[in-house]
Structure 1
Amino acid sequence: MPYPIFDRNRLILKPLSERVNDLQRDVFLCLTDPIPEFQDDNLEILAERIIKAKERGATVLLMMGAHVIRSGVNRFLIDLMKKGYITLIGTNGASAIHDMEFAMIGESTESVARYIREGQFGLWKETGRVNDAARYAQENGYGLGEAVGKMIYENPIEFPYRESSLFAAGYQYGIPITVHVGIGQDIVHEHPNFDGSATGESSYRDFLTLTYFVQSLEGGVVLNIGTAVMGPEVYLKALSMARNVANQENRHIRHFTSAVFDLVDLGDDIHSEAPKTNAAYYFRPYKTVLVRTVADGGESFYIRGQHRATVPNLHRLIIEKARQ
């Protein structure tokens, strides 16, 4: 006898027009706006490594969490995509939701504290369009990220703010944005139109796309920005698969640069694995991105600061150094 399941047809979904949002589109910095000051010599090294990776045709992989979008730096990432300094962005389901909502209504980020008390958290009709994109992806052989980007880019009336959409820009410039979904973690999984098969298949296609580009990581760069679990774990599995095939072909994926952008205090030595008695050991970006995956030839850096400061300053340095 199968376990009982929740009947989603009993849910009441309300329109986004009734939702109070914590963030409006004016959170997005323009390229011409003054950017927060941030100084770290390692950021200059990273800028140089990214420029060299582009010159040699190596992958520059950016793994990021949804807080990066909420920090208002989309336009800086879009400009790097447009100029060819980012090969692929790997992110989570929440990023697709925030990006789509900002493109659709110019706002995003509901109050969890308010709406969870009402039993309304996440239950907004228009947000379920991410599920429509997943079904379209499954039916037409797309990855989830590309389907979301296509939906936003090709419908300017429905998405009047698509200019600042990462996903639309990815589709426009042919830069893959892959979505790595954890079933049950995103608000659209509450919706009656959620299709686990479509989301699973299209998200797994995204994983294989990311792994394809990890094959060219030798001499490249991987950035892990604001993702403590998804980014390190997806990257780790993709790298193992890519190295497995490379070893069969007498190639190596060892000499590349990795960096973590976050706020956690990791101490003075970020190149040695912390003992299990230290809480930092369980911070996956530390042991996975900074230590284990670059232990046989790579080099890693830790950039500690707010995304709203670190990302625009990385963009600034890349553009400045590329002109020299």
Structure 2
Amino acid sequence: MATPAGERDPAPAFDMSRFRTRPLAGREHRVARGALAGLVTPGDSLGAFLDALPDILQVRALRGLAAAIAASSARGAPVLWGLGGHVIKTGLAPVLVDLMQRGFAHGFVLNGAAAIHDAEMAMNGSTSEDVAAGLFDGTYGTADETGRWFAAGAARAAREGIGLGTALARELAASCPDAAGRSLLVAAARDDVPVTVHVAIGTDTVHMHPACDGAALGAGTHRDFLRLATLVEGLDGGAYVNLGSAVVLPEVFMKAVAIAHNARSAEQGADAPPLSITTGNLDMLRHYRPRVNVLQRPAAQGYELTGPHEILVPLLRAAVLHAAEVGA
């Protein structure tokens, strides 16, 4: 007897006799047993540890970026490193200084916070205040020496017609010459490695200091922007690695790339090939601007690594050294 219309299921079950399967071996796979992790034991080398990592996702990105950095340096192409404040605050200046001394870092691009933390480590052997504790009692951001150093650097940049980064590094090296092991700025000044500092006025504690001169600060950081454009113009075949800057440095980098390409097109013609730059981005979270303005728009190849700086940056250094050794 027919089921009354009102009692019928309005969405009948799918007839699975229509569904077709296929052999597992005939399917395209994204993970094969050759990518599985190996095992290391105490006493194995760091290279053995790196080789034992599973060749999947973030490890593949780590190896790709490390190989690109090593290859760029091997063929004489520059590698620039962009640094947000948290990278320095998590104790990584010695790692970056070592990369510089080994020939894997040919210039550093800092925001204001990175310069501040580096200087305080050089001057005082410590940095990073408790913001919550000092915000409401009026003590937050009031360190006198830090503000005076930054103001002196800006004044020197204006007086000598040099970039803010160069001036800050030279000021710090003059007062803390023995701090090269813990200060990127001092080490860069000693080895004459370019440093640019890109300031967004109002974002750093030193802008609250009575000695801060906005005109000198603006002139110095603008000169550094133009110096960065020169460095980026020479990045063809090289690499740019953004560490821990979510907004300021990705925007500054993209504008420097735009300047370089503008001049390239004007001088070589509209069909001039774009700069071939490998880029990397390392941060605790994935952000829009680093992804688009560093990894996608200006890059021939981009690599993204997500995780704590204090783990990823030493790991990247180790991977670069290993890639250089294997490729030598």
**TM-score, length-scaled by structure 2:** 0.77
2:67 to 22, 28, 48: 48
1:225 to 239, 243, 268: 243
Deviations along 1:259-305, one digit per CA (max 9) or x if unpaired, are 1111225xxxxxxxxxxxxxx6xx211122222223xxx11111111
CA distance in 2, matches of 1:44, 1:91: 25
CA distance in 2, matches of 1:169, 1:231: 22
CA distance in 2, matches of 1:290, 1:163: 31
CA distance in 2, matches of 1:55, 1:244: 28
> How much does 1:58 deviate?
2.3
CA contact (8 A) 2:71 2:324 kept: no
CA distance in 1, matches of 2:155, 2:277: 36
Map of 1:128-167 to 2, 5 A cutoff? 128=147, 129-156=149-176, 161-167=179-185
2:312 to 303, 306, 310: 310
CA contact (8 A) 1:223 1:258 kept: yes
Q: Which position in structure 1 is the counterpart of 2:143?
A: 124
Map of 1:94-133 to 2, 5 A cutoff? 94-128=113-147, 129-133=149-153
CA contact (8 A) 2:109 2:197 kept: yes
> How much does 1:188 deviate?
0.9
CA distance in 2, matches of 1:217, 1:162: 26
Deviations along 1:38-89, one digit per CA (max 9) or x if unpaired, are 8512212211111221233323121120000011111110011112211211
Please state whether the residue corresponding to 1:139 is helix, strand or coil. helix
> How much does 1:193 deviate?
0.4
CA distance in 1, matches of 2:113, 2:105: 21
2:201 to 176, 183, 195: 183
> How much does 1:232 deviate?
0.8
Please state whether the residue corresponding to 1:163 is helix, strand or coil. coil
Aligned residues: CA RMSD: 1.8
Size of the aligned set, in residue pairs, is 268
1:169 aligns with 2:190: no
CA contact (8 A) 1:66 1:92 kept: yes
CA distance in 2, matches of 1:163, 1:54: 23
Q: Which position in structure 1 is the counterpart of 2:97?
A: 78
CA contact (8 A) 1:104 1:162 kept: no
> How much does 1:256 deviate?
2.2
Deviations along 1:156-204, one digit per CA (max 9) or x if unpaired, are 3xx6544210101111112111100011111111111000111111111
Please state whether the residue corresponding to 1:89 is helix, strand or coil. strand
Give 2:247's aligned amino acid.
Answer: V
CA distance in 2, matches of 1:47, 1:258: 11
Please state whether the residue corresponding to 2:259 is helix, strand or coil. helix
CA contact (8 A) 1:58 1:218 kept: yes
Please state whether the residue corresponding to 1:150 is helix, strand or coil. helix
Please state whether the residue corresponding to 1:193 is helix, strand or coil. coil
1:264 to 278, 285, 288: 285
Deviations along 1:82-136, one digit per CA (max 9) or x if unpaired, are 1221121111111111111111111111111111111121112111111111111
CA contact (8 A) 1:54 1:60 kept: yes
CA distance in 1, matches of 2:175, 2:193: 19
Q: Which runs of 5+ in 1 are unaligned?
A: 1-33, 266-279
CA distance in 2, matches of 1:304, 1:210: 26
